[in-house]
């Protein structure tokens, strides 16, 4: 029976409608959150291990060499992924640093503040993104200059008929020519650097413990899933670059620059006192030093 006055029974104090926050916003439903947590557990188990951080650089270098040899000796037939206009290349790889920056920014801020509670330390750790931006900018500018100073403008892709009047790549392309120089693979560099940086930052998850009913848990879990899938995209497109694009020497230099950018920061500089530092974790410095000594 309905109570007098025709009003519905009032809800118990403190309870909220399923799928809604007290302020009226929406969180993932129970089943949706369970699927999200399942994905997060899988990604934690695969990407957060110390062995992944230790061997991923070697795996990337080996796959680059193997893919390049396959391209030279027994090229794969053309496919959707060999087209530079494929969705992953246009909307993800071309914006690789922007994707990595935008997802790591809240992840580093939330996890580091949750563990330390110190805004100063969080800002210090966020400066790793400024360092990464500087590495990205300097390397891409360097690659562009190398291609410019080693290149010439030709009348056809077969490199016939040099157009000496066109002294830059932009001018050459604007007049319908074809610029050919030593084009260091920016994809090999950036995908290597981004994948390794994400894996390094996700090491903090060893220490992060949150209440499942808290909104912070939902936010971090969502970021873990997003960063995990982004890492798989970077590795997959790195393999596609190895088997479909560029010469061996161009990919070799690109990958080496990516590895140097990662090792020069997380393997050397971030171990020093005056640096952005490593992600906070128990005995992080000792574990890191032992990892690189082996």
Catalytic residue numbers, as ranges: 187, 246
Taking the C-alpha atoms of residue 33 and residue 18, their distance in angstroms, rounded to an integer, is: 12
Helix axes 248-266, 50-73, angle to 10 degrees: 170
Question: What are the CB-based long-range contacts (under 8 Å, 24+) for 277-280?
Answer: 277/121, 277/124, 277/125, 278/200, 278/203, 279/108, 279/111, 279/112, 279/125, 279/200, 279/201, 279/203, 279/204, 280/112, 280/115, 280/116, 280/121, 280/125, 280/204, 280/207
């Amino acid at each position: 029976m309905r109570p007098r006055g025709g009003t519905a029974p009032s809800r118990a104090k403190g309870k909220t409608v399923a799928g809604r926050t007290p302020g009226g916003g929406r969180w993932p439903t129970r089943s949706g959150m369970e699927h999200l947590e399942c994905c997060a557990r899988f990604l934690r188990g695969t990407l957060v291990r110390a062995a992944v951080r230790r061997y991923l650089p070697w795996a990337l270098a080996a796959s680059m060499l193997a893919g390049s040899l396959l391209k030279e000796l027994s090229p794969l037939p053309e496919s959707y992924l060999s087209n530079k206009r494929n969705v992953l290349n246009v909307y993800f790889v071309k914006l690789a640093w922007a994707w990595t920056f935008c997802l790591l920014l809240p992840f580093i801020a939330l996890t580091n503040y949750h563990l330390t509670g110190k805004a100063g330390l969080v800002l210090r750790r966020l400066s790793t993104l400024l360092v990464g931006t500087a590495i990205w900018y300097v390397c891409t500018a360097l690659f562009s200059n190398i291609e410019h100073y080693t290149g010439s403008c030709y009348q056809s892709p077969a490199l016939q008929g040099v157009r000496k009047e066109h002294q830059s790549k932009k001018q050459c392309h604007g007049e319908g020519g074809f610029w050919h120089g030593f084009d260091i693979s920016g994809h090999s560099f950036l995908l290597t650097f981004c994948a390794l940086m994400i894996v390094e930052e996700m090491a903090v998850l060893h220490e992060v413990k949150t209440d499942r009913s808290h909104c912070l848990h939902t936010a971090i879990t969502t970021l873990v899933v997003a960063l995990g899938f982004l890492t798989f995209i970077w590795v997959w497109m790195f393999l596609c670059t190895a088997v479909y694009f560029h010469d061996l020497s161009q990919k070799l230099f690109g990958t080496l620059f990516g590895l140097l950018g990662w090792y020069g920061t997380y393997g050397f500089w971030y171990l020093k006192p005056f640096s952005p530092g490593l992600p906070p974790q128990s005995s992080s410095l000792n574990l890191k030093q032992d990892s690189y000594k082996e």
